[in-house]
Amino acid sequence: MPTKEEAEKQKKKCDCTKGEDCVKDKTEEQIKAEQFARLENKAEVYARTVSQLCETSAKVHELWLSTHEDASAEEKHTQLVAAIQSAIMIALMNI
């Protein structure tokens, strides 16, 4: 078990107690690998968001087409607005 003095030195060196990474203890390769992993995660989130928006867009287009064939245009319009709002919320939550 480290002494109080050693613990203070470690804390001054890097404040890991606050959830911060100890950058001083990492090599440049480790730092780059972590940055790349974070970028990959962001890319996956953006890809899922785009996919969800494309699916929602297709549903919106389908609903829009059906409003011209249906007597229940008001209900379809409500569904269309809800689908658009849903797509916007999904996009905002994933950014």
Q: What does pTM read for this prediction?
A: 0.45
In this predicted structure, the answer to whether residue 25 has a pLDDT above a threshold of 60 is yes
Of the chain, the percentage scoring pLDDT greater than 90 comes to: 0
- Tens digits of per-residue pLDDT, 35-75? 899 988 888 888 888 888 888 888 877 877 776 666 577 77
Nearest to 16 by CA among 28, 4, 25, 3: 25
Burial of 15 (0-12, 13-18, 19+ CB in 10 A): exposed
Q: What is the pLDDT of residue 30?
A: 86
